[in-house]
A = this chain, B = another copy of it.
């Protein structure tokens, strides 16, 4: 999809406030509401805008702990890798998961209420998966920055 400067401005504003009205949005990007709405719909249809969500305050929700987990998998069949991915996607404690360069390395961000909850997650879920060679956990004390705004142009 072709993106121009006005689209970038629209995307920037929607990333800051996903509920801004088309009237306000169009005024801020220098268009009238009709073409502005058309652009937003086109950006949604193209998949560039993936979804609109409410972002909660992790601490206020009683889930102040983020744990970063490095997982190394044993050499194995494709099927086991798919099972790993599927489990990750299913577990609500895992908010982010990345396949890292190098070998069979995954990085997870796990969100829990406290260390006890994390231990429970480890014992009842993660360590029960087959094919894991090693697990290493690092704990975040403080969220210095948490943004969804991509650095467009």
Contacts and interface: CB of A to CB of B under 8 A. Distances in A.
Contact of A150 (B46, B56, B138, B147): B56
Given A100-B138, A101-B139, A48 B56 contact: yes
24 contacts: A11-B54, A14-B53, A17-B53, A18-B18, A18-B19, A18-B54, A48-B61, A49-B56, A49-B57, A52-B52, A56-B148, A63-B152, A68-B98, A68-B107, A89-B145, A92-B151, A95-B146, A96-B143, A96-B146, A97-B146, A99-B140, A99-B141, A100-B141, A111-B151
Nearest to A94: B145
A138 B100 CA distance: 7
A63 B149 CA distance: 12
Given A53-B53, A68-B107, A100-B140, 10 more contacts: A17-B52, A18-B52, A18-B54, A50-B55, A51-B54, A56-B150, A58-B150, A63-B151, A89-B144, A97-B146
Nearest to A89: B145
A61 B152 contact: yes
B98 A16 contact: no
Interface of A: 1, 11, 14-19, 46-58, 60-61, 63, 66, 68, 85, 88-89, 92-102, 106-107, 111-112, 138-152
Nearest to A147: B95
B15 A148 contact: no
A8 to B, nearest CB: 10
A49 B53 contact: no
